[in-house]
């Protein structure tokens, strides 16, 4: 073997070893995109490679919400210990982690009372003595559409004409005009007041 062949062999060996080492630690998300509604709860989850002979004391985790305006710390673990003081104020009291899952190679973060400004990219970076990696997912929070549904209103026109107007209030305002005699109109109005029929 001449010197060039030896050098090529060493370079190839170095490339193989590097790829083996970097491939030994993998971070993934269980879902790349989450959708939820305001005021609901959601669980975000990441998985990572564990080694049975390694303690979680070598584990460092940083999970952040990344938006156009700012980065907010959602969850942090330093040398296996959760550091709640570094959590951004907007997440205070709204994040719960599953400590058992962490030992099993999973980061499970439950986020409570979702707000629309919780929408964005969530990035988790992990660092251990046997590798490092990161994975991201996107969370989209829609505003809750929970207006109190109005009940039908009854508007009677003068009795001499014998007409009854029914109105439905809401996103699609519509009016139905029904031609009734006076006694039917009175009976229908009383029935509507006694029930919760929605047209």
Average pLDDT, the chain: 75
Tell me the CATH number at 55: 2.60.40.10
**Residues 158 and 138 grouped into a single domain:** no
**Residues 131 and 164 grouped into a single domain:** no
* Residue 165 lies inside a defined structural domain of this protein: yes
Specify the pLDDT at position 53. Answer: 80
* Residue 158 lies inside a defined structural domain of this protein: yes
**Residues 101 and 60 grouped into a single domain:** yes
And the tokens for 58? 């070598």
Yes or no: say if 63 and 78 are a contact pair by the CB < 8 Å rule. Answer: no
**Residues 40 and 125 grouped into a single domain:** yes
**Residues 78 and 33 grouped into a single domain:** yes
Tally the domains of the chain: 2
The more confidently predicted of residues 82 and 158 is: 82
Distance CA 133, CA 48 (A): 9
Q: Which of 50, 24, 25, 31 is nearest to 133 (CA)?
A: 25
* Residue 176 lies inside a defined structural domain of this protein: yes
Distance CA 31, CA 104 (A): 18
pLDDT band at 187 (very low <50, low <70, confident <90, very high): low
- pLDDT one-digit tens code per residue, 17-30: 444 444 588 999 99
Residue 165 has pLDDT above 50, yes or no: no
**Residues 112 and 169 grouped into a single domain:** no
And the tokens for 16? 């193989």
Q: What percent of the chain has pLDDT over 90?
A: 46
Distance CA 163, CA 75 (A): 64
**Residues 166 and 125 grouped into a single domain:** no
Residue 178 has pLDDT above 70, yes or no: no
**Residues 157 and 135 grouped into a single domain:** no
**Residues 160 and 76 grouped into a single domain:** no
Q: Count other Cβ atoms within 10 Å, centred on residue 80.
A: 15
State the residue range of the domain holding 164: 153-194
The more confidently predicted of residues 183 and 128 is: 128
pLDDT band at 54 (very low <50, low <70, confident <90, very high): confident
**Residues 41 and 71 grouped into a single domain:** yes
Specify the pLDDT at position 191. Answer: 52
């Amino acid at each position: 073997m001449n010197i060039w062949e030896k050098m090529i062999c060493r370079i190839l060996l170095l490339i193989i070893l590097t790829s083996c080492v970097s491939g030994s630690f993998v971070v993934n998300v269980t879902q790349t995109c989450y959708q939820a509604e305001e005021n609901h709860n959601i669980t975000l989850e990441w998985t990572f490679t564990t080694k049975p002979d390694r303690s979680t004391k070598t584990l460092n985790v940083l999970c952040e919400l990344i938006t156009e305006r700012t980065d907010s710390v959602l969850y942090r673990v330093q040398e296996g210990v959760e550091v709640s003081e570094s959590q951004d104020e907007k997440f205070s009291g709204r994040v719960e982690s599953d400590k058992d899952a962490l030992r099993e190679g999973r980061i499970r973060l439950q986020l409570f009372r979702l707000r629309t400004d919780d929408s964005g990219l969530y990035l988790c970076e992990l660092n251990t003595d046997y590798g490092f990696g990161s994975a991201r997912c996107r969370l989209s929070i829609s505003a809750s559409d929970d207006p109190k549904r109005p009940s039908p209103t009854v508007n009677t026109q003068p009795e001499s004409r014998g007409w009854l107007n029914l109105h439905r209030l809401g996103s699609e305002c519509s009016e139905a005009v029904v031609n009734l005699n006076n006694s039917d109109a009175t009976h229908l109005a009383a029935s509507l007041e006694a029930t919760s029929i929605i047209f």
